[in-house]
Amino acid sequence: MAGQEQQRKDHQRDDEQPEPGAAPAAGQAQDAQRDADLDALLDEIDGVLEPNAQEFVHTFVQKGGQ
Amino acid sequence: MTVRRVMGIETEYGITRADDPAADPIHLSGLVVRAYAASAGPTRALPTGAGWDYADETPLRDARGYEMARALADLSQLTDEDDPAVANSVLSNGARLYVDHAHPEYSSPEVTSPRAAVLWDRAGEEVMVSAARALQGQEVPVRLYKNNVDGKGASYGTHDNYLVPRSVPFADLVRGLLPFLVARQVICGAGRVGVGPASQLPGYQIGARADYMETEVGLETTLKRPLVNTRDEPHASAAVHRRLHLIGGDATSADVGGLLKVGTTSLVLRLVETGRAPELALQDPVGALRVISRDTTLRTTVPLEGGGSMSGLDILEAYLQACRDALAEEVPGWTADPDTAEVLERWGGLLDTMREDPMRACGQVDWVAKLALLRGYRDRDGLAWDDPRLRLVDIQYSDVDPTRGLAARMRAAGRIESLVSTDEVHHAVASPPEDTRAWFRGECVRRYAAHVRAASWDSVVFAESGRGLRRVALPEPEQGTRAQVGDLLDRHSDAASLLGELASTGA
């Protein structure tokens, strides 16, 4: 499973490469760092998300206010 | 003192009971208010048996000059009829904590700077966290969300309020504000999974409230919601002041977005007051609000009256430039005090960042921070926009609990930039701003709780044993400050002696 997810992500990043061999700009380096940070963040959040998303979202019903 | 003015933020929190999602939200909201008041104690929060003084509330008066007949009003517009079943408290920080419709609401004390608005808004989150902890101790697992939508059609408000001189024609305010309010979501939107009021279409948008604004100008707040609300209820001397009540904004978790929401609005009001607002008019403001909300690339443009079109960033840039010009030309009323400089620097910096790549604002603006998370999940797990996990992330982003709440966690980890420290927030939970009448209100709660029978934005009502009620009016929001009445309160350790001096001086 994890391998498949990794492949999908790698595939997507390939799509986003602008020019083969182009020198990465500082912004792109920052963005790469941001992607790595994001992966770590998602792993952390996985541990705190309400366990049953379907059920939670279904029952999250509010009354209208102002 | 360009950006400074009296302002405040009201937030209705989303609410559920974890072990009983069908629990009555009105009852549950009442429990939140009562639990906070009971756990904080009388010197931090007036007991909920104390009242709100409704003498000066006029929710049906319209800024356009007429009053709606009470019989015609939708029942939910009648916020001023005292209902003993509904809990209300006034806090020692000058805020009001009560049940509004079916939500617990924290109405911040009056502040005079955008930074203070952020601080006392964050204090409100902390009040909700404390209330939830107190209820957890009573085995009532309540969850509170600083958001504005349930994704199924219901929306509840976060209102930002600004004191404006009555002398400024209301029509000028409307004309000057509308294009700005349409574009403002770009720098402070909370983001939302789902498009359409009931999320009929899958997708993501910038403004959580964008699909719920239906008209440009109007009196209502719960139906036919307007971009500019005309409720003429100044909570102050009506001959001098107007309270501009904006109902279209989103609750913010990111401090920079929150600072810019009120900071840029206050500056735009200054533009209107000094006759410097850009000459801009959108062909269809409500339609433009939705178009801008639905384009996370920020490139889409919306048509102007008289030809041409602008993007949300273009519109915000035009207002920013008008502010910079007013400062450069030393227009009376415009000075680069530190609060003004901070807002202008943040505003310009954010627009530049967003022009390069909106996603680089993920540490400053909620809609970007949330979108980065959601894209991460979509990429990693291949989720479609209508996947319940993405909708869960959207909702749980705003959970106020520091462990569960995603924004709270990201803030604690430094992923979302904080403008205020935890210590400052804790101080603001207990203490009022010193430079408005909130100081008198909050300090009366803290010092004379046993004798304060009721309060409101512009009054504190004392009960004197054997002598009935005594109402101290506070019609001027910038009077009753620590500088003005600090010595007075320090002279009197009990309410009777304070009232004695007030009576002898004819206050």
Question: pLDDT tens-digit profile of B17-36?
Answer: 999 999 999 999 999 999 99
The whole-number pLDDT of residue A30 equals 75
When CB atoms are compared, the residue of B26, B222, B359 closest to A66 is: B222
Last residue of a domain, one of B428, B463, B488: B428
> How do residues B386-406 score in pLDDT, each as one tens digit?
999 999 999 999 999 999 999
Tokens of B299: 């490139």
The whole-number pLDDT of residue B373 equals 97
Last residue of a domain, one of B401, B428, B455: B428
- Residue at B415 is within a domain: yes
CB B86 within 8 A of CB B98: yes
Both B228 and B125 in a single domain? yes
| Residues paired with residue B205 on neighbouring β-strands, in sequence order | B192
Q: Taken in order B316, B320, B326, B328, is the CA torsion positive or negative?
A: negative
Q: Which residue has the higher pLDDT, B12 or B231?
A: B12
pLDDT at B433 over 60: yes
When scoring A45, A56, A66 by the number of chain B Cβ atoms within 10 A, the one with the most, hence best to mutate, is A66
Establish if A5 touches chain B: CB-CB under 8 angstroms: yes
Both B165 and B201 in a single domain? yes
The whole-number pLDDT of residue B504 equals 86
d(CA B86, CA B34): 10
Both B154 and B197 in a single domain? yes
Please name the residues in contact with B189: beta carbons below 8 A apart, sequence gap of 6 or more. Answer: B206, B207, B208, B210, B250, B257, B293, B365, B366, B367
CB B226 within 8 A of CB B216: yes
User: Is the CB of A66 less than 8 angstroms away from the CB of B101?
Assistant: yes
Enumerate helices (H) and strands (E) in chain B, giving the number of each: 14, 18
Closest CA to B183 of B305, B313, B299: B313
pLDDT band at B267 (very low <50, low <70, confident <90, very high): very high
User: Is the CB of B392 less than 8 angstroms away from the CB of A59?
Assistant: no
pLDDT at B486 over 70: yes
Both B261 and B300 in a single domain? yes
Both B227 and B272 in a single domain? yes
CA distance B415 to chain A (A): 9
Interaxial angle between packed helices B438-448 and B482-491, expressed in degrees from 0 to 180 and rounded to the nearest 10: 20
pLDDT at B281 over 90: yes
CA atoms within 13 A on the CB side of B339: 20
| ipTM of the prediction | 0.88
Rg for chain B (alpha carbons), in Å?
22
Both B350 and B481 in a single domain? no
Mean pLDDT of the residues in chain B: 93
Last residue of a domain, one of B404, B428, B452: B428
pLDDT band at A12 (very low <50, low <70, confident <90, very high): very low
d(CA B60, CA B445): 29
CA distance A22 to chain B (A): 19
The whole-number pLDDT of residue B75 equals 42
pLDDT at A7 over 90: no
Q: Which residue has the higher pLDDT, B77 or B88?
A: B88
A54 to chain B: closest CA residue = B388
Both B389 and B496 in a single domain? no
Which of B53, B83, B100, B487 is the catalytic position?
A: B100
Closest CA to B53 of B457, B432, B438: B457
Is B100 assigned a catalytic role? yes
> How do residues B319-339 score in pLDDT, each as one tens digit?
999 999 999 999 999 999 999
CB B21 within 8 A of CB B157: no
- Residue at B171 is within a domain: yes
Closest CA to A4 of B386, B372, B390, B382: B382
The whole-number pLDDT of residue B85 equals 53
Q: Per this entry, what is the length of chain B?
A: 507
Both B400 and B482 in a single domain? no
Compute the average pLDDT of residues B489-494.
96
- Residue at B474 is within a domain: yes
A31 to chain B: closest CA residue = B360
Closest CA to B309 of B286, B290, B284: B284
What pTM was computed for the model? 0.91
- Residue at B454 is within a domain: yes
A39 to chain B: closest CA residue = B376
Compute the average pLDDT of residues B204-212.
97
Both B366 and B474 in a single domain? no
Distance, CA of B329 to chain centre: 32
Both B243 and B351 in a single domain? yes
The whole-number pLDDT of residue B211 equals 97
Number of Cβ within 10 Å of residue B200's Cβ equals: 10
When CB atoms are compared, the residue of B21, B100, B222 closest to A59 is: B21
CB B17 within 8 A of CB B140: yes
When CB atoms are compared, the residue of A8, A48, A56 closest to B382 is: A8
Establish if A61 touches chain B: CB-CB under 8 angstroms: yes
- Residue at B485 is within a domain: yes
Establish if A62 touches chain B: CB-CB under 8 angstroms: yes
- Residue at B2 is within a domain: no
- Residue at B1 is within a domain: no
Q: What is the CATH number of the domain that holds B93?
A: 3.30.590
- Of B160-174, B450-464, B472-486, the range with the lowest mean pLDDT is B450-464
Both B273 and B246 in a single domain? yes
The whole-number pLDDT of residue B110 equals 98
Compute the average pLDDT of residues B236-245.
94
Q: Which residue has the higher pLDDT, B105 or B66?
A: B105
pLDDT band at B60 (very low <50, low <70, confident <90, very high): low
Main-chain phi, psi angles of B52, to 5 degrees = -105, 135
Tokens of B382: 């291949």
Compute the average pLDDT of residues B133-161.
96
CB B186 within 8 A of CB B298: yes
The whole-number pLDDT of residue B191 equals 98
Compute the average pLDDT of residues B354-379.
97
Please name the residues in contact with A20: beta carbons below 8 A apart, sequence gap of 6 or more. Answer: none
Both B371 and B474 in a single domain? no
- Of A24-38, B38-52, B104-118, B481-495, the range with the lowest mean pLDDT is A24-38
CA distance B77 to chain A (A): 9
E-strand spans in B276-384? 301-303, 309-311
Question: Which residues of chain A make contact with B360, given a CB cutoff of 8 A?
Answer: 27, 30-31
- Residue at B276 is within a domain: yes
CB B242 within 8 A of CB B232: yes
**Sequence-ordered alpha helix ranges (H) in B8-66:** 25-40
Query: How many domains would you assign to chain B?
Result: 2
Q: Which domain holds residue B42?
A: 7-428
Q: Which helix (H) or strand (E) holds B447?
A: helix B438-448
d(CA B320, CA B374): 31
Question: Tokens 């929060």 map to which residue?
Answer: B45
d(CA B199, CA B107): 29
User: Is the CB of B360 less than 8 angstroms away from the CB of A60?
Assistant: no
User: Is the CB of A27 less than 8 angstroms away from the CB of B360?
Assistant: yes
